[in-house]
């Protein structure tokens, strides 16, 4: 890889990152750039699952999954990718003519690049070519540079995915809180209505009882011809009726409700 090719590759990587594409679109763009920089027959990106300590195919291009010895088990799964994930440097197999070329001799030249960010394993990138001698040990440093750039991209995608998941969880939590708040407000409204009903019942029931009593007295006074009693009864009825009128006026103009202890026992609402 010439110096110009390296520079162009790095510039294109930066451009891809700046576009803010979705995960799969980013991988497609990266693999297309990779193919124009280091051509391959097939290429596969394995992502490392730290919880399961295993490698999983996250993206591939070409007819086959790029791997060797896929029938041989290693610590993190089948195939050479599992073994390479323990390494720090790219593993280059210039020619597989005299060695194990892989199932059905799909690849005759192969490079496997472990992807690391500091001490954190990100995954493994494999590239296979049908022609022998296509990848060279002399270009291992170029493969390492490519690996470091792709590691950075994958790590950024992982962080973005984690952030999106956290935002989703936060949104769900806020929705639950809003629902709970709405429910609480409705309950408070019902409780307030109940308190108002109790208060109105007391404020109206007391003068209403007096009116009924006075009306009964008036009836008796009227039958006996006691004019003074009739006059006093009418004044009393008018007084109690005005009390009821004041209560209804307060209801029409109510802006705030407060509770107070009524006769030292029941919480009553004051309008």
Query: Structural domain boundaries of the chain?
Result: 3-162, 177-270
The residues, ordered by sequence, that sit 6+ positions from 255 with a Cβ below 8 Å of its Cβ are: none
What is the reported pLDDT for 135?
92
Q: Does 3-162 match 177-270 in CATH topology?
A: no
User: How far is 207 from 256, CA to CA, in rounded Å?
Assistant: 24
For tokens 């690391």, the residue is: 116
pLDDT at site 98: 59
pLDDT tens, N- to C-terminus, the chain (271 residues): 656 556 777 777 777 777 777 888 888 988 988 888 888 999 999 999 988 999 999 999 998 899 988 878 887 788 899 999 999 999 999 988 755 544 557 889 999 999 999 899 999 999 999 988 889 999 998 899 889 988 988 888 888 888 888 888 888 988 998 888 888 888 888 887 777 777 777 777 777 787 877 777 777 777 776 777 777 878 888 888 888 877 777 776 655 555 555 454 444 444 4
DSSP symbols for 216-251: HHHHHHHHHT-HHHHHHHHHHHHHHHHHHHHHHHHH
- Tokens representing 208 are 């209403």
DSSP code of residue 141: H
The phi, psi pair for 2, rounded to 5°, reads -75, 165
Structure tokens of 247?
């209560």
- Assign domain 3-162 to its CATH architecture: 2-Layer Sandwich (3.30)
What is the model's pLDDT at position 265?
A: 43
User: Which CATH code for domain 177-270?
Assistant: 1.10.287
What does pTM read for this prediction?
Answer: 0.61
Distance, in Å, from the CA atom of 160 to the CA atom of 163, rounded to the nearest integer, reads 5
């Amino acid at each position: 890889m010439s110096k110009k090719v390296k520079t162009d590759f790095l510039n294109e990587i930066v451009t891809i990152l700046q576009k803010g594409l979705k995960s799969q679109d980013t991988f497609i763009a990266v693999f297309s750039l990779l193919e124009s920089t280091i051509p391959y027959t097939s290429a596969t990106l394995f992502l490392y699952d730290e919880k399961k300590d295993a490698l999983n195919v996250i993206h591939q291009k070409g007819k086959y999954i790029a791997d060797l010895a896929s029938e041989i088990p290693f610590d993190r799964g089948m195939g050479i990718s599992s073994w390479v994930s323990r390494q720090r440097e790219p593993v280059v197999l210039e020619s597989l003519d005299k060695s194990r070329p892989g199932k059905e001799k799909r690849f005759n030249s192969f490079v496997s690049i472990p992807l690391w960010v500091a001490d954190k394993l990100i995954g493994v990138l494999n590239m296979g070519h049908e022609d022998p001698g296509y990848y060279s040990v002399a270009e291992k440093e170029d493969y390492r540079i490519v690996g470091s750039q792709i590691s950075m991209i994958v790590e950024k995608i992982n962080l973005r995915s984690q952030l999106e998941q956290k935002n989703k969880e936060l949104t769900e939590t806020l929705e639950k809180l809003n629902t709970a708040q709405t429910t609480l407000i409705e309950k408070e409204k019902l409780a307030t209505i109940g308190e108002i009903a109790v208060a109105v019942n007391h404020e109206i029931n007391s003068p209403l009882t007096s009116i009924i009593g006075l009306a009964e007295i008036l009836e008796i006074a009227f039958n006996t011809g006691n004019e003074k009693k009739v006059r006093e009864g009418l004044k009393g009825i008018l007084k109690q009726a005005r009390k009821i009128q004041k209560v209804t006026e307060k209801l029409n103009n109510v802006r705030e409700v407060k509770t107070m202890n009524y006769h030292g026992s029941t919480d009553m609402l004051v309008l």
